[in-house]
Amino acid sequence: MMEIKNSKPFKGRIAILTGGGDCPGLNAVVRGVVKTAITQYGWEVFGIYDGFKGLVENRYVHLGFKEIKNILSKGGTILGTSNRDNPFHYPIELDGETIYKNRSSVAIKNLEQLDVDALIVVGGDGTQSIGHEFAKLGVNVVGVPKTIDNDLKATSFTFGFDTAINISMEAIDRLHTTAESHERVMIVEVMGRNAGWIALYAGLAGNAQVILIPEIPYSVEKIVEKIRERYRRGQKYALIVVAEGAFPKEGGISYIEDGADGLARPKRLGGAGQRLLEELKAYDSSYDIRLTILGHLQRGGTPTAADRILGTAFGVKAVELVTQRKFSEMVSLTKGEITSVPLAEAVGNIKLIKEDDPMILAARSIDLSFGD
For residue 357, which amino acid is it?
D
Return all residues near 216 (Cβ < 8 A) that are at least 6 apart: 196, 355, 370, 371, 372
The H-or-E segment that residue 189 falls in is: strand 185-190
- Contact by Cβ (8 Å): 191, 244: yes
- Contact by Cβ (8 Å): 161, 198: yes
The H-or-E segment that residue 202 falls in is: helix 197-205
For residue 99, which amino acid is it?
I
- Contact by Cβ (8 Å): 107, 86: no
Among residues 50, 117, 149, 307, which one is catalytic? 149
Alpha-carbon distances, residue 20 vs 12, 95, 155, 300, 340 (angstroms): 27, 28, 18, 14, 21
**HSE-up of residue 150 (Cα within 13 Å, Cβ side):** 22
Q: How many other C-beta atoms lie within 10 A of the C-beta of residue 44?
A: 19
The H-or-E segment that residue 329 falls in is: strand 329-334
Alpha-carbon distances, residue 305 vs 25, 310, 366 (angstroms): 9, 9, 28
- Is 149 an active-site residue? yes
Alpha-carbon gap, residue 365 to 294, rounded angstroms: 27
What residues are annotated to the active site? 149
